[in-house]
Amino acid sequence: MNITLKQVRTFVTIAQVRSFAEACEILHLSQPALSISMKNLEEIIGGKLLTRSTRAVSLTAEGQQFLPVAKRLLTDFDDAFIELSDLFSLKRGNLSLAAMPSFASTHLPQHLLVFSDKYQDIKIRVHDVIAEEAVAMVQTGKVEFAISFDPGEFEDLNFETLFSDQLLAVFPEKHALTKVAELTWQQLSQYPFITLQRPSSIRLLMESTLAEQDLFLQVKYESNQLATVVQMVANKLGVSAIPSLYKQQIQALNLKHSALTSPTISRRVGIITRRRYPLSQSAQVFVELLRQHYQ
Q: Return the pLDDT at 218.
A: 94
Yes or no: say if 149 and 99 are a contact pair by the CB < 8 Å rule: no
Check pLDDT > 90 for residue 227.
no
Check pLDDT > 90 for residue 120.
no
Query: How far apart are the two ends of the chain, measured CA to CA in Å?
Result: 54
Q: Return the pLDDT at 113.
A: 95
Q: Return the pLDDT at 215.
A: 94
Assigned CATH class of 5-88: mainly alpha
* Mean pLDDT score, 87-100: 78
DSSP 256: E
pLDDT band at 162 (very low <50, low <70, confident <90, very high): very high
The CATH classification number of 165-266 equals: 3.40.190.10
Q: Return the pLDDT at 165.
A: 94
Positive or negative, the CA dihedral 104, 108, 112, 113 is positive
Q: Which residues, including other chains, have CB under 8 Å from residue 47's CB and lie 6 or more apart?
A: 60, 62
* Mean pLDDT score, 82-95: 67
Check pLDDT > 70 for residue 84.
no
Q: Return the pLDDT at 63.
A: 87
* Mean pLDDT score, 105-112: 93
Q: 254 in the Ramachandran plot: left (φ > 0), alpha (ψ -120 to 50) or beta?
A: left
Check pLDDT > 60 for residue 26.
yes
Residue boundaries of the structural domains of the chain: 5-88, 93-161+269-294, 165-266
CA distance 143 to 124: 11
Number of CB atoms found within 10 A of residue 218's CB: 12
pLDDT band at 93 (very low <50, low <70, confident <90, very high): confident
CATH superfamily assigned to domain 93-161+269-294: Periplasmic binding protein-like II (3.40.190.10)
**pTM confidence score:** 0.68
HSE-CB for 2 with a 13 A CA cutoff? 3
Q: Return the pLDDT at 199.
A: 81
Element spanning 200, H or E: none
Q: Return the pLDDT at 86.
A: 61
CA distance 1 to 19: 27
Q: Do domains 93-161+269-294 and 165-266 have the same CATH topology?
A: yes
Residues 236-285: tens digit of each pLDDT: 999 999 999 888 889 889 999 999 999 999 999 999 999 999 998 889 99
Q: Return the pLDDT at 82.
A: 63
